[in-house]
């Protein structure tokens, strides 16, 4: 149970629908972020920017940096709600915290994100209006302990490596595609949830990080993998029709977790769209729990670890 939500406000409520779940039997990671996208809009509207997400608006608020911890599986039909708060309000940006909980109070996920107030005609950030600054104190709280990073250092600056640098360091392209209309927000830019979706849709090809995916007996025995924690930083916002290539890299492993850096890059310019730090584990679908890596697992993973990759 988690009941320490002083300073938070309910920003979204709904459920985990069956169509939002993947082969692991729980809500896919993209939908946690899609629901957070909606919770952010709910909080921003409560702060007084009531037209920020309406057609024809001149300004809006979008996510630049997001850290998520998956803490309690959401299964089909589970009621969920999100309570949100401001952690810090700066001149034109803010840090927000969202706590997604089950009906019984168990935490499903926590999100801490940096958002920016953007003037759309020039695509530039600009200061919050007075009504937001006036409303903010009643919707401000300290970051709760469950939302603090566990395996990922949230203070590290992301560089966003170029395509040429990633390839020179040994990263391989395992995915590619073109962003579509359904992936855009009111600013006509790709959302954070869509970046997460593109990643999860391609991870099955990442045999260097998950050699178990090549083992039919492993999967037949009810075992798979799960994401525990992730931080994503958008370096440039793509729009409809922009292409991407996806290059993941194993950066370390221990008996409990595997650490990765995912880079989504523009193949035309070679510049980074988004970089992601991730922590995952082997997962038993029947017991619904983490599986410790064996010494043989770690020896195999060590051969695939790339040291020259950064987020």
DSSP 135-165: HGGGGB-PPPGGGS-SSS-TTSPP----HHH
Half-sphere exposure of 41 (CA within 13 A, CB side): 18
**Closest to 274 in 3D by CA, of 204, 202, 196:** 196
**Residue 196: which of 233, 153, 151 has the closest Cα?**
233
CATH superfamily of 1-148: Hotdog Thioesterase (3.10.129.10)
Superfamily of domain 152-311: Hotdog Thioesterase (3.10.129.10)
pLDDT at 64 over 80: yes
pLDDT digits (tens, 9 = 90+) for 250-309: 999 999 999 999 999 999 999 999 999 999 999 888 888 899 999 999 999 999 999 899
Q: Which residues face 231 on adjacent strands? A: 67, 277
Q: Cα separation of 258 and 282, whole Å? A: 9
Average pLDDT on 122-148 reads 96
> What gap in Å lies between CA 300 and CA 280, rounded to an integer?
16
User: Measured between alpha carbons, how far is 216 from 102 in angstroms, rounded to an integer?
Assistant: 34
Q: Residue 275's pLDDT is what?
A: 98
d(CA 56, CA 89): 26
pLDDT (tens digit per residue) in 150-192: 989 777 899 999 999 999 999 999 999 999 999 999 999 999 9
Q: Which of 85, 87, 108 is nearest to 154 (CA)?
A: 87
Residue 2, pLDDT score: 64
DSSP E strand stretches across the chain: 9-15, 59-70, 79-89, 93-102, 107-119, 124-125, 175-178, 223-234, 243-253, 258-265, 272-284, 289-291
Domain residue ranges in the chain: 1-148, 152-311
Give CA–CA dist 18/147, Å, rounded.
26
Task: Answer yes or no: is pLDDT of 1 > 70.
Answer: no
- pLDDT number for residue 3: 65
235 conformational bin, left if phi > 0, alpha if psi -120 to 50, beta if neither:
alpha
Structure confidence at residue 217 as a pLDDT band (50, 70, 90): confident
pTM for the full predicted model: 0.94
């Amino acid at each position: 149970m988690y009941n320490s939500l002083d300073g938070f406000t309910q920003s979204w409520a709904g459920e985990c629908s069956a169509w939002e779940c993947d082969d692991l039997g729980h809500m896919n990671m993209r939908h946690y972020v899609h629901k957070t996208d909606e919770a952010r809009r709910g909080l921003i509207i409560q702060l007084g920017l009531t037209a920020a997400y309406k057609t024809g608006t001149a300004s809006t608020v979008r996510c630049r940096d997001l850290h998520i911890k998956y803490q309690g599986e959401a299964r089909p039909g589970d009621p969920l709600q999100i309570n949100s708060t401001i952690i810090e309000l700066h001149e034109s940006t803010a840090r927000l915290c969202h706590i997604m909980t089950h009906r019984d109070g168990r935490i499903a996920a926590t999100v801490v994100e940096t958002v920016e107030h953007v003037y759309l005609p020039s695509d530039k950030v600009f200061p919050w209006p007075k009504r937001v600054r006036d409303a903010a104190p009643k919707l401000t709280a300290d970051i709760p302990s469950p939302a603090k990073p566990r395996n990922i250092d949230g203070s590290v600056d992301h560089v966003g490596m170029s395509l040429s640098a990633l390839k020179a360091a040994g990263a391989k392209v395992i995915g590619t595609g073109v962003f579509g209309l359904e992936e855009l927000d009111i600013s006509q830019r790709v959302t954070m949830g869509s970046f997460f979706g593109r990643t999860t849709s391609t991870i099955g090809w990442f045999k260097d990080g998950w050699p178990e995916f090549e083992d039919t007996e492993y999967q037949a025995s009810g075992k798979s993998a799960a994401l525990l924690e992730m931080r994503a930083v958008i370096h440039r916002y793509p729009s409809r029709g922009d292409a991407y290539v996806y290059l993941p890299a194993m950066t370390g492993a221990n008996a409990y977790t595997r650490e990765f850096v995912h880079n989504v890059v523009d193949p035309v310019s070679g510049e980074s769209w988004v970089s992601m730090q991730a922590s995952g584990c082997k997962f038993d679908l029947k017991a619904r729990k983490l599986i410790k890596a064996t010494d043989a697992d770690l020896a195999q993973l060590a051969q695939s670890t790339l040291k020259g990759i950064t987020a």
